């Protein structure tokens, strides 16, 4: 699998680095996670019984895009023998799905540099079996990438295993020390380029994937665009700027995101900044969207919706909102506008996607597309329609 050049800045505020040598690769680590990783760093991703499904979103995202790691395989015994690209997008990519850790190591031919826990269960914790598997991976000499709310470096068993096996655990979600966290300051007003948030009507609905595709499409069209990640998967994939928002104390969420967006603007001088969404503003179980709207103060919002999803992910007694109701809530809550709707095509045929696009455009009066199955040019047109001044930037770069 080909990977893009390694990234050099992960979180907006400066973090002191320390050099660490492992028995596999030489890394430069900040206090919480890897900030720069060699392009040749290899990894296997654990996603037992969840690859291609909602709770496997970290593994799914890494297969679709990974700037930080070369993904060698995914572990999921229920889909063993299949090609990961075929499972996700019906396009082969030569990255296999393996039965177990032994199978993955055999197919790799040598011990990979990293073992990535590729699931995002609602509990945010490892099961007893998973704890044993992570310890086994460490015993083979693999560094661990952990995106859960459970911080393994704080566990004495895992800490001892790090010393014994001479490996590192990267607790991606672990926030900085409270003394270093930032409150909202109002500096977001200094960001003069359009800020676009990709929000959704539910969690695990494809916001990060759409944000990634939109960022790439804008850059390829000549509009310099930077994406700000707000969750663990985007950080693991290699987002240049980001913060795992749901692990930050609520008092600092808006300020930490504001500081990240401002840093991205100051360092990159982009034409557009895309902010990855989390959860949904209407979802009572999650508050991240409110902090994203407050902290990034987006000029526009792209809303992601799954037409065939009748109930909320992991909340079977909670009905999904309509796009119209979510749009009304977002535009009432924040001084912003919805510039387009994107479709998550789960359980939909291509004809059904086309029908949904037409119906929502007529109902909502905004552009509608599917980021994965339709041309990315439609996403670019969506942004240019909302911010026509960007056409001059595009023309200047041509």
Indicate whether 162 and 212 sit together in one domain: no
| Domain boundaries, position 321 | 180-397
pLDDT at residue 128, rounded to an integer:
93
Residue 344 lies in a domain: yes
How do strand 143-146 and strand 368-369 relate by DSSP bridges? Answer: unpaired
Indicate whether 29 and 130 sit together in one domain: yes
Indicate whether 230 and 141 sit together in one domain: no
Indicate whether 96 and 239 sit together in one domain: no
- The per-residue pLDDT string of the chain (398 residues; one tens digit each, 9 = 90 and over) reads 323 333 323 333 322 223 333 334 433 333 333 344 445 699 999 999 999 998 999 999 999 999 899 999 999 999 999 999 999 999 999 999 999 999 999 999 999 999 999 998 777 789 999 999 999 999 999 999 999 999 999 999 999 999 999 999 999 999 999 999 999 999 999 999 999 999 999 999 999 999 999 999 999 999 999 999 999 999 999 899 999 999 999 999 999 999 999 999 999 999 999 999 999 999 999 999 999 999 999 999 999 999 999 999 989 999 999 999 999 999 999 999 999 999 999 999 999 999 999 999 999 999 999 999 999 999 999 999 999 999 988 888 77
Indicate whether 126 and 210 sit together in one domain: no
Indicate whether 260 and 393 sit together in one domain: yes
Question: Of 121, 153, 171, which closes a domain?
Answer: 171
Indicate whether 295 and 375 sit together in one domain: yes
Indicate whether 155 and 254 sit together in one domain: no
pLDDT at residue 60, rounded to an integer:
95
Question: Of 171, 203, 234, which closes a domain?
Answer: 171
Indicate whether 87 and 115 sit together in one domain: yes
Question: Of 121, 152, 171, which closes a domain?
Answer: 171
Residue 272 lies in a domain: yes
pLDDT at residue 39, rounded to an integer:
53
Residue 326 lies in a domain: yes
pLDDT at residue 6, rounded to an integer:
32
Residue 12 lies in a domain: no
Residue 131 lies in a domain: yes
The structural domain count of the chain equals: 2
pLDDT at residue 18, rounded to an integer:
30
Indicate whether 206 and 330 sit together in one domain: yes
CATH label of the domain that carries residue 241: 3.40.50.300
Indicate whether 186 and 164 sit together in one domain: no
CATH label of the domain that carries residue 105: 3.40.50.720
Indicate whether 160 and 204 sit together in one domain: no
């Amino acid at each position: 699998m080909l990977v893009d050049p390694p990234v050099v800045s992960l979180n907006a505020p400066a973090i002191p680095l320390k050099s660490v040598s492992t028995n596999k690769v030489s890394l430069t680590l900040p206090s919480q996670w890897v900030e720069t990783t060699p392009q040749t760093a290899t990894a296997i991703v654990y996603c037992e019984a969840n690859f291609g499904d909602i709770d496997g979103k970290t593994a799914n995202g890494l297969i679709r895009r990974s700037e930080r790691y070369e993904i060698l395989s995914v572990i999921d015994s229920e889909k063993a023998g299949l090609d990961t690209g075929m499972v996700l997008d019906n396009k082969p990519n030569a990255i296999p799905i393996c039965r177990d850790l032994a199978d993955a190591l055999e197919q790799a031919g040598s011990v990979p540099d990293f073992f990535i826990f590729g699931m995002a269960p609602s509990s945010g914790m490892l099961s007893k079996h998973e704890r044993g598997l992570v310890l086994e991976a460490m015993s083979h000499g693999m560094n661990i990438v952990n995106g859960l709310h459970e911080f393994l470096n704080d566990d004495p068993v895992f800490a001892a295993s790090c010393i014994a096996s001479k490996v590192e655990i990267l607790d991606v979600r672990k926030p900085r020390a409270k003394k270093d966290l930032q409150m909202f300051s109002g500096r977001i007003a200094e960001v003069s380029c359009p800020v676009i948030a990709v929000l959704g009507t539910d969690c695990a609905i494809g916001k990060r994937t759409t944000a990634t595709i939109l960022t790439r499409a804008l850059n390829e069209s000549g509009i310099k665009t930077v994406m700000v990640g707000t969750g663990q998967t985007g950080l693991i994939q290699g987002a240049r700027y980001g913060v795992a928002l749901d692990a930050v104390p609520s008092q600092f969420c808006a300020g930490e995101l504001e500081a990240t967006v401002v840093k991205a603007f100051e360092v990159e001088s982009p034409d557009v900044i895309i902010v990855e969404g989390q959860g949904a503003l209407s979802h009572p179980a999650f508050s991240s969207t409110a902090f994203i709207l407050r902290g990034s103060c987006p000029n526009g919002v792209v809303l992601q919706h799954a037409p065939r999803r009748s109930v909320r992910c992991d909340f079977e007694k909670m009905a999904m909102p309509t796009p119209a109701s979510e749009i009304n809530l977002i535009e009432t809550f924040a001084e912003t506008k919805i510039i387009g709707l994107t479709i998550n095509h789960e359980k939909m045929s291509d004809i059904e996607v086309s029908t949904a696009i037409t119906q929502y455009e007529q109902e909502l009066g905004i552009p509608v597309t599917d980021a994965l199955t339709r041309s990315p040019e439609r996403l670019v047109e969506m942004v240019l329609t909302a911010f026509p001044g960007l056409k001059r930037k595009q023309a200047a770069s041509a």
